[in-house]
Amino acid sequence: MKKNWPILVVDDEEVMCESMAAWLREDGYRVDTAPNGQKALDLAKSTDYVVCFIDLKMPGGMDGIETMMEVRRIRPEASVIIITAYATVDTAIQAMKEGALEYIVKPCNPQEISMLVSRIMKFKKLESENAILRKRLTRQYRHHDIITKNPRMEEILALTQEIASLRSTALIRGESGTGKELVARAIHFSGNRSEKPFIVVSCAALTETLLESELFGYEKGAFTGANGQVKGKFELADGGTIFLDEIGDISPKLQADLLRVLQERRFYRVGGNQEVEVDVRIIAATNRTWRRRCGKADSGRICFIAST
């Protein structure tokens, strides 16, 4: 078990903080203490605490529940255990509602605390292992989903790795059924956006107006039936990748709108007047012959055109 995972003890009573810290340190954990909520937040900003023991009643400033909420805002993954000497059902319910993992009344049996911390650490270890395994699976994605012995195709796979972590827009061109979406997925899942969304939009399947609201979302009242604000695919893909399949089929007007998003990563929702900014990598694909559209020669096989 990773005993170097840090624990924070927050209590206005120094003796409570220090004795609890000393007891946990005997178990091999790295333990910090804070006498109040503000100090706890300062510490949480610089240290990724796995477990926080927070006293419910702290005079002046933030109480235990407020401290917990702020700590969880900074460190959403931290497991918070509220400790109190004056337990009531109301405070227990409030603590659990606000996100406390456990609510314990001091003094507690050493076995209870020991098992609680051990259980949390085991869970965190499993979470961490899960993340590692997911990453490994992601890395295997390209190998398992695209099987090829073709040297040209292997070149393309090598190129996907080269451009995987770039922010540049990529265009994948090839005939229908040649695996353009698989290549796009390989780029996304091999890069530094792999933990974020990969959103697919089939441009050919939608009319211009539908595609516009699908991509950019819409505000309430933007058109008949727009009963509320809806986020578009660009917003849903924030931090990740949007794959625009059959981009060659979109109208010149939408192309102009897309160009602005490509250049500035900003757009307006349909019917909206507030600009939305996103961090999205765009991968587009087409089965059209680029030669006819751009007047340039091409190889006639799948290729990438990365625009800046």
Question: Residue numbers of the site for other proteins (CB under 8 A)?
Answer: 3, 13, 15-16, 18-20, 22-23, 25-28, 53, 83, 106-111, 113-114
Q: Distance between CA 16 and CA 214 in Å, rounded? A: 56
Task: State the nearest-atom distance from the C-beta of 72 to other proteins, in Å.
Answer: 21
Q: Distance between CA 92 and CA 99 in Å, rounded? A: 11
C-beta of 38 vs 114, nearer to other proteins: 114
C-beta of 55 vs 214, nearer to other proteins: 55
Q: How far is CA 136 from the centre of its chain?
A: 18
C-beta of 114 vs 178, nearer to other proteins: 114
Residue 275 contacts residue 236 (beta carbons within 8 Å): no
Task: State the nearest-atom distance from the C-beta of 44 to other proteins, in Å.
Answer: 20
Q: Distance between CA 156 and CA 169 in Å, rounded? A: 16
**Both ends of the chain: CA-CA distance in Å?**
46
Q: Distance between CA 64 and CA 54 in Å, rounded? A: 6
Task: State the nearest-atom distance from the C-beta of 108 to other proteins, in Å.
Answer: 6
Neighbours of 146 (CB within 10 A): 17
Task: State the nearest-atom distance from the C-beta of 117 to other proteins, in Å.
Answer: 11
C-beta of 47 vs 114, nearer to other proteins: 114
C-beta of 15 vs 256, nearer to other proteins: 15
Task: State the nearest-atom distance from the C-beta of 115 to other proteins, in Å.
Answer: 8
C-beta of 76 vs 110, nearer to other proteins: 110
Q: Distance between CA 95 and CA 304 in Å, rounded? A: 53
Task: State the nearest-atom distance from the C-beta of 41 to other proteins, in Å.
Answer: 22
Q: Tokens 């956006």 sit at which residue?
A: 193
Q: Distance between CA 206 and CA 216 in Å, rounded? A: 14
C-beta of 40 vs 282, nearer to other proteins: 40
Q: How far is CA 240 from the centre of its chain?
A: 8
Q: Tokens 């050919």 sit at which residue?
A: 204
Q: Are strands 169-173 and 79-84 parallel, antiparallel or unpaired?
A: unpaired
